[in-house]
Structure 1
Amino acid sequence: MSDWLVTQGPAAGRRRPRALSPFREHLRDTFWFAPTAAMVSVLAVWLAAQALDTAIVDALRENGDYESLADLLRFAEDAKTVVNVVASAMMTFIGVVFSISLVAVQMTSGQFTPRVVRLFVRSRITKATFAVFLATFVLSLLVLTSFDTTDDPRKATTLPLVQSALTLCMVALSLLLFVLYVNGTLRLMRISHVIARIATESFRTVAAMPPSASGPDADGLGEPTAWVPYDGRAGVLRDVHIARLVRVARRHGVVLRLVPLIGDFVLPGTPLLAVHGGAAPPMGALRRTTSVGVERTFYQDLGFGLRQLCDIALRALSPAVNDPTTAVQALDRIVQFLAALSRRPLDPAVHRDRDGAVRLVLPVPGWTELVDLGFTEVRGCGAGSPQVSRRLLAGLDDLLLLAPPERREPLLRHRELLRQAVEETAPNATDRAFALRPDRQGIG
């Protein structure tokens, strides 16, 4: 990790995070897992609470304490009314939360970009709220089945005392999570927080990247000795299972090199892996080593964060929205992200086995590609907005100060192209001079 990223990135002072396995990362992109796990867990907790309630009633009956049992029966009647209310109210709460989520997703995807819907899907507070609400509803139904219909304390077999207390605790937790959920949803509907979340996810991707390598590790592999074609359905290459590919390459004594970039659209029959130093491993050994889906993810995809920030800026600069301030906010994060990468090596990432031998090489976007991704479309659409052109010039000037000499060419090229575009858009000399004056706030 470069010194600049360590000192300037959002993860400054922290240890490099351990990358999640692809399976765990894919679970974070699903919405069904957390509620399902919560309902299964609450079933186990209910069984334990029911056993504890039965043990309490048996102990009182053995001691002949029927007066206490009679008091507990009266308490159970009151608790049953409360649990009935909870069971009916939780479904209403679930409907409210679901409605709020749908409205928030619709508004943010229409105003910012459809790709921000993923932030709602990955939101921990949203998943926790749905999970606890559903678990509370299931628990209340289970507790209702435990109430004894007898009025005679000598015939009572079970009284859901612990279960009722547990239900009330779940209700209190549900109310707390509902407040946190509303607060979190309102934050995700504000563009500044959405942009900040995208930037944070992007920096996590950078921090989780392995050290890049050039020279004999990445460039001295020679010509491929075999190719592995992609044999799945067409889609976006979301990620690869690095540990599994390294094991396969070590077992067969070869080096594997991923041909497409993470985030590329792959077609069946096109080259997926280049094999160096031997025959291609069998297709069975390479099964479930790559994940192809319908959309890109932050996991292992260095350019996806820039893509989303550019989409937000382009949507803000469209004639239908005409919100250059939002575009400037997106440019702030684009410049921040490129500044963190300005001194970081962007050579192919090399992964080694336990003996230190190179087994897997993954390509990453180069500096020029990332600069073009961050500035090309925004420059073309924002040349007519002085606020955007001034912020873009200030960002390019900052990057020119930070980037080493060999990385300044694409920055100078975009600066010159922006100057030409502004001169064509603003024929008045005074307007041109104003639009070409760098300003980190755009227009103050």
Structure 2
Amino acid sequence: MDRPSPSVPYRRPRMLSPLREHLRDTFWFAPVASMVLITLLWWGCSGLDTAIVETLQEAGEYEAVTDLVGIADDAKTIVTTISSAMMTFIGVVFSISLVAVQMASGQFSPRIVRIFIRSRITKAAFSVFLSTFLLSLLVLTSYESETDPRLVTTVPLVQSILTLVMVALSLLLFVAYVNSTLRLMRVGHVVDRITWEAFRVLEKTPAHPAGAGELGPASGELVYRGRAGVLRDVNTALLVAAARRHGVVLRLLPRIGDFVVPGTPILAVHGGTVPRRVASAVSVGIERTFHQDLGFGLRQLSDIALRALSPAVNDPTTAVQCLDRIVQFLAALADRPLGAVAYRDRRRGGGTVRLVQDGPEWTDLVDLGFAEIRGCAAGSPQVSRRMLAGLDDLLTRVPPERAEPLLRHRTLLVQLVERTVPEAADRAFALEPDRQGIG
């Protein structure tokens, strides 16, 4: 089995990989899991507090129990303050965050909201904030009105210490969260994060071609029966296992990112039949995701650049930053096989092809990266100069058979500038390649 170049190692798909990615695209899972965890931790600390009191009572150390009650009463004031203030704190932080995300999505692209949702710092911060609030409520239920050291059953000392530790952790995460949110409003960080996500998709994509003609005619098709939406990803490990079990080869008919409606053929079966439930391994949602979509990163970079070049924004420097990353990503694909890829049923020994999945070709990705930006580049010499430099750099890296779309875009850009820029000196300046745009 062929592998990508060493700079982009291939990661074999896992059975639970789509589930893990879908949970990362939700905002509820991490806070709920953390609250369940803190409840279990509180239950353990409560048992430890009870065991400490029982041990001291059995040893006759009633004076020590009285001291613990006094310390716990002092801590109760702090816990009560935490309980009353934490939810207000969470509300204020969340309100400010929504404003920041709204500003960022309006300035760059609505699709960057998912960066905020998938941010580990954001989820960790809100998880710890909510867990601290819940813990303070649980600790308050453990306080007793009994002061007689012989009748006291528990003193929430360990629980109070845990609450103070959670408050300290909340403060640290708040600082990290504010820093992360401020970075979200900086175009350089957003563009870099999108590029990083795009390369993660590249790591998980097999780098070998799979010819559709080798499969022969299809013996059947599976039709999509769910709600209309965008094909987000497929559980490749599950489909490979099902194809191996039934001795067939499956081919995914639509590409990742295509919009499908009920009744759309979703899987072609070659060499036999499979149950209809196999189609449940295909995930359809309301928007595209990065999980298996090789072109989604270029789509977002192009969207940010187009918004930056609109008359209302007029920010060609942001467009140049997007072009930098588009060139970077395409350079990584310069000599990499693209198009349909095949998934085999064994890691070693070659194995048998069990799943064929169509992917974007080199021309598709080049058009996605340059076509729309090129149409808006005539009025900005900074953008046209950077695009020409990027196209020239890519032409030195790609094999001859991949030069045609790059030459086409270069020719069209030159023609656009010559047609729309009246002054000869301005035309010459706009058509001079420059990696900085206007360095």
Q: Deviations for 1:229-269, whole angstroms, at most 9, x for unmatched residues?
A: 21111100000011111122122221111111100001111
Shift of 1:179: 0.3
Residue 336 of structure 2 is matched in structure 1 by: 344
Shift of 1:223: 2.1
Residue 396 of structure 1 is matched in structure 2 by: 391
Which of residues 205, 217, 222 is equivalent to 2:216? 222
Residue 234 of structure 2 is matched in structure 1 by: 240
CA distance, structure 2, for counterparts of residue 310 and residue 39 of structure 1: 39
Which of residues 287, 291, 296 is equivalent to 1:299? 291
Shift of 1:287: 4.4
The question of whether the paired residues in 1 share the 8 Å contact of 2:267 and 2:279 is answered with no
Residue 276 of structure 1 is matched in structure 2 by: 270
Residue 414 of structure 1 is matched in structure 2 by: 409
Gaps of 5+ in 1: none
The question of whether the paired residues in 2 share the 8 Å contact of 1:234 and 1:265 is answered with yes
Q: Deviations for 1:38-87, whole angstroms, at most 9, x for unmatched residues?
A: 00001100110000000000011111111111111111110100100111
CA distance, structure 2, for counterparts of residue 328 and residue 43 of structure 1: 50
Which of residues 75, 95, 98 is equivalent to 2:71? 75
Where does 1:130-169 land on structure 2 (aligned, <5 Å)? 130-169=126-165
Which residue identity does 1:206 align to in structure 2? L
Residue 112 of structure 1 is matched in structure 2 by: 108
Where does 1:3-402 land on structure 2 (aligned, <5 Å)? 3=5, 6-7=6-7, 16-17=10-11, 19=13, 21-214=17-210, 218-279=212-273, 281-284=274-277, 286-354=278-346, 356-402=351-397
The DSSP-based 3-state class of the residue aligned with 1:49 is helix
The question of whether the paired residues in 2 share the 8 Å contact of 1:2 and 1:343 is answered with no
Shift of 1:93: 1.8
CA distance, structure 2, for counterparts of residue 283 and residue 65 of structure 1: 70
CA distance, structure 2, for counterparts of residue 92 and residue 288 of structure 1: 43
CA distance, structure 2, for counterparts of residue 271 and residue 150 of structure 1: 70
> Structure 1 residues 260 and 207 mapped into 2: Cα distance closer, same or farther (>3 Å)?
same
CA distance, structure 1, for counterparts of residue 35 and residue 201 of structure 2: 32
Which residue identity does 1:263 align to in structure 2? G
CA distance, structure 2, for counterparts of residue 145 and residue 132 of structure 1: 20
The question of whether the paired residues in 2 share the 8 Å contact of 1:34 and 1:131 is answered with yes
Which residue identity does 1:402 align to in structure 2? R
The DSSP-based 3-state class of the residue aligned with 1:274 is strand
Which residue identity does 2:160 align to in structure 1? S
Percent of aligned pairs sharing the same letter: 68
> Structure 1 residues 273 and 17 mapped into 2: Cα distance closer, same or farther (>3 Å)?
closer
CA distance, structure 1, for counterparts of residue 379 and residue 272 of structure 2: 56
Q: Provide the TM-score with structure 2 as the length reference.
A: 0.96
The DSSP-based 3-state class of the residue aligned with 2:436 is coil
CA distance, structure 2, for counterparts of residue 287 and residue 295 of structure 1: 19
Shift of 1:221: 1.0
The DSSP-based 3-state class of the residue aligned with 1:145 is helix
The DSSP-based 3-state class of the residue aligned with 1:360 is strand
Q: Provide the TM-score with structure 1 as the length reference.
A: 0.95
CA distance, structure 1, for counterparts of residue 148 and residue 272 of structure 2: 81
Cα RMSD over matched residues? Answer: 1.3
The DSSP-based 3-state class of the residue aligned with 1:36 is helix
The DSSP-based 3-state class of the residue aligned with 2:215 is coil
Residue 437 of structure 2 is matched in structure 1 by: 442
The DSSP-based 3-state class of the residue aligned with 1:438 is coil
The DSSP-based 3-state class of the residue aligned with 2:284 is strand
Which residue identity does 1:334 align to in structure 2? I
CA distance, structure 2, for counterparts of residue 115 and residue 174 of structure 1: 29
